């Protein structure tokens, strides 16, 4: 009975973490994945979740300055072309 209750709670925690990922709250999702790892019983599953948490942390760091500059310049050139400038 206790295993069933923990399995349901793990599913709920996983769903919450994936919902946070879908909305773009990467740091919150990473924290939620830590909670999921605490409730895991299998080492292989916890390693997989740890990798997913690392992906969330990488995405939370944002875009590097060089890429931001390139994207900004591309946007400006597209706007100029659109406005016939």
Q: Give pLDDT tens digits for 13-57.
A: 999 999 999 988 999 999 999 999 999 989 999 999 999 999 999
Rg of the chain over Cα atoms, rounded to whole angstroms, equals 20
Checking if the pLDDT of 85 tops 50, the result is yes
> Following CA atoms 80, 82, 84, 85 in sequence, which dihedral angle do they give, to the nearest 10 degrees?
-10
Calpha distance 15→83 (Å, rounded)? 45
Calpha distance 71→29 (Å, rounded)? 26
Q: Give pLDDT tens digits for 55-84.
A: 999 988 876 777 778 888 888 888 888 888
DSSP state of 24: T
Domain chopping of the chain, boundaries? 2-82
The two most distant CA atoms of the chain are separated, in Å, by: 70
């Amino acid at each position: 009975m206790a295993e069933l209750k923990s399995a349901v709670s793990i599913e709920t925690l996983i769903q919450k973490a994936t919902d946070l990922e879908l909305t773009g709250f990467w740091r919150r999702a990473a924290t939620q994945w830590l909670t999921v790892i605490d409730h895991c019983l299998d080492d292989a599953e916890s390693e997989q979740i740890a990798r997913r948490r690392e992906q969330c942390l990488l995405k939370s760091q944002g875009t590097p300055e060089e890429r931001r500059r390139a994207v900004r310049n591309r946007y400006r050139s597209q706007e100029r072309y659109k406005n016939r400038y």
